[in-house]
Structure 1
């Protein structure tokens, strides 16, 4: 069961091309979906930013 702060698969399919552009140089990117889920968790839980 997905948590309320986790981005559903259908929503991720709609926005993944906007937040995950092709990168040719530099270090490998972190998982954008995991990053968004972390931001949503902060917003939903009221936890303080560090």
Structure 2
């Protein structure tokens, strides 16, 4: 479980969990949470 402050955006919290997630064959995303660094990290 990961708890973050209420004003922290979801995609910043997701970066903290990258090591715990298995690789995904497909990336689905919402442009409202678009961040170049996030897309790059997920692609790697």
Fold agreement, TM-score > 0.5: no
The structure that has the greater radius of gyration is 1
TM-score normalised by length of structure 1: 0.26
TM-score normalised by length of structure 2: 0.27
Higher relative contact order (CA 8 A, sep 6+): 1
